[in-house]
Structure 1
Amino acid sequence: MTQASSGCIHCLKQLEIVMKILFFGTYLDNRDVLTAFFKSKLAVADETSDPEEALDLVRFYDYDAVVLRIADSRPNEVDLIRRLRIGGLRCPIIAVAHALAEPTRLRVLEAGIDDLIVSAMSQDEIFLRVQNQVRRSRGFQSPSLVIGTVEINMNAKKIFTAGTEVSLTKKEYQIVEILALRKGCVLSKEAILDHLYGGLDEPNPKIIDVFICKIRKKLAALGAGELIETNWGRGYMVAEKRAMPTPAIERAGIEGSAGHRPGSGALLRVGT
């Protein structure tokens, strides 16, 4: 694998997705800087070449994806894919290789891989393909996550509500993105810290309360203050708001007063 060339598209240089990734396998060669590259994009990365340790890690930590280094000479990686799937791992599994013979490719695909990346042109390509797998696994088909009136553009790293950009700091944006990708799930303050800092130099968990407060004020100023909900004693979550159905009595009253239903002639009486 090669480093991204100096002529890389500008928007790719700006990508900084907050993902927690488990990398498995020994380095493919001395040009393999995949883990370091993902960290440079602010991804949190764990790494191991021990299959048993990998299985333990996915049991105890919530990973967004597992990335495996694959080679024809190392069949253990294929066996690990099967064991991860049998164990109930739901996050995307992506295999990366410099070159791979067709029989090995077929075994990898049959084992239940989500994407197989062979001879990628750059680290950026691998990063974007992993990001796309994570996004789709969370139920979003577009690079922009749309929740109610709020749009989260993962490529531009910007948030809009009703077409107006919300001015957020880098950490504030990352928190919104983390919660949006896990829409409907409660994340504890400790889990959010883990995704932001990866266990390194983490501040007091109460800092998350401060971030959330500032985010809510900025969203509220643009009419979207209810995006992030508090689950008392557990943490925070993003839940998509759905329009409540019109009550039957209200509908009947509207229809009766409109007078556009010939022959109905009935008025709704309450408390007769």
Structure 2
Amino acid sequence: MKILIFGHILDNKDIMTMFFKSKLVVVDETAESEEALDLARFYDYDAVLLRLADTRSAEIELIRRLRIGGLRCPIVAVAHSLGESSRLRVLEAGVDDLIVNATSQEEIFLRVQNQVRRSRGFQSPSLVIGNVQINMNAKKIFVGDIEVSLTKKEYQIVEILALRKGCVLSKEAILDHLYGGLDEPNPKIIDVFICKIRKKLLALGADDLIETNWGRGYLVVEKRSPDYAPQPKPAEPVEQNDARLRAGLFLRVGT
């Protein structure tokens, strides 16, 4: 996942960014509204997370401008405490979830992740594509009941593509989701990662999950089972065909 966190650190116990990064999330941060708007326009974020120290008009306006600007990903607001009127203002502005006085960073992470998963069309706790199951909570991938041994970067690539099932991602876009623009290697490294991922999945009998779109990038597709192929329309009985033919002849004779 890649998320944008907006707002100032709430206190010296605020380790939200560090915690999200420990969960293999690429994080961009800013406390400037205009910069947040520019980042949201330029990058494909999975979610925007707002730290709310107070419901100032600038923060409410940012939520509205993000939505007016066409931002489709979930917006989640987090606050230590918030009165009822302030909560209503934040919800009315267009956030998808409001978390007040969370018991742990794990709760915030899971609620954001659930919003991301559902926004991408996955209702179950795991991303299931064909016979491959991607457990976003454990950051593990299974073929049937067998875990696939992947590196962190390899797992991230599969998760990134799976969340955007059916959409082509360029190598540059994948790199951005892996490194966040910091110390990015040559884009050709993505070809190497994909090759290794394919070998590991196919060795365990996985469906051919990742397709190459030549000249554009890679995408995850779900192969349709032959069982879903449309069945041929059964032929009509000979007697029924004869009856229709005779009826047509009688009509022509009558005219």
The question of a shared fold, defined as TM-score above 0.5 by the shorter chain, is answered with yes
Aligned to 2:123: 141
Superposed CA deviations along residues 165-218 of structure 1, whole A, max 9, x for unmatched, are 322222222211111011111111111111112222222111111111111112
Return the alpha-carbon distance in structure 1 between the equivalents of residues 200 and 113 of structure 2.
Answer: 27
Aligned to 1:77: 59
**1:47/1:198 CA distance change after superposition, 3 Å:** same
Return the alpha-carbon distance in structure 2 between the equivalents of residues 65 and 200 of structure 1.
Answer: 20
Aligned to 1:118: 100
Q: Out of 182, 194, 199, which is 1:217 matched to?
A: 199
Return the alpha-carbon distance in structure 1 between the equivalents of residues 25 and 67 of structure 2.
Answer: 23
Q: Any gaps of 5 or more consecutive residues in structure 1? A: 1-18, 257-262, 267-272
* SS of alignment partner, residue 54 of structure 2: coil
Moved more, 156-165 or 141-150: 156-165
**1:73/1:93 CA distance change after superposition, 3 Å:** closer
8 Å CA contact retained: 1:152, 1:177: yes
Return the alpha-carbon distance in structure 2 between the equivalents of residues 107 and 46 of structure 1.
Answer: 25
Given the two structures, how large is their TM-score scaled by the length of structure 1? 0.81
Give 1:45's aligned amino acid.
Answer: V
Q: How many residues align?
A: 237
**2:65 pairs with 1:53:** no
**2:141 pairs with 1:159:** yes
8 Å CA contact retained: 1:72, 1:101: no
* SS of alignment partner, residue 223 of structure 1: coil
Superposed CA deviations along residues 56-83 of structure 1, whole A, max 9, x for unmatched, are 1111001111111113352311111111
8 Å CA contact retained: 1:93, 1:115: yes
Task: Output aligned runs, 1:1-272, within 5 Å.
Answer: 19-72=1-54, 74-243=56-225, 245-246=229-230, 248=232, 252=234, 264=237
Which structure carries more helix by proportion? 2
Shift of 1:247: 5.7
Q: Any gaps of 5 or more consecutive residues in structure 2? A: 240-255
Moved more, 26-35 or 200-209: 26-35
Q: Which has the higher contact order (CA 8 A, sep 6+)?
A: 1
Larger Rg: 2
* SS of alignment partner, residue 62 of structure 1: coil
Return the alpha-carbon distance in structure 2 between the equivalents of residues 127 and 181 of structure 1.
Answer: 17
Shift of 1:152: 1.1
Q: CA RMSD in A?
A: 1.9
Superposed CA deviations along residues 218-242 of structure 1, whole A, max 9, x for unmatched, are 2222333521010111110001222
Aligned to 1:14: none
Return the alpha-carbon distance in structure 2 between the equivalents of residues 228 and 218 of structure 1.
Answer: 12
Shift of 1:246: 4.0
8 Å CA contact retained: 1:65, 1:92: yes
Return the alpha-carbon distance in structure 2 between the equivalents of residues 199 and 217 of structure 1.
Answer: 28
Superposed CA deviations along residues 79-121 of structure 1, whole A, max 9, x for unmatched, are 1111111111000000010100111100001111100000011
**1:222/1:80 CA distance change after superposition, 3 Å:** same
Q: Percent identity?
A: 78
8 Å CA contact retained: 2:207, 2:223: no
8 Å CA contact retained: 1:217, 1:225: no
Return the alpha-carbon distance in structure 2 between the equivalents of residues 155 and 33 of structure 1.
Answer: 19
Given the two structures, how large is their TM-score scaled by the length of structure 2? 0.86
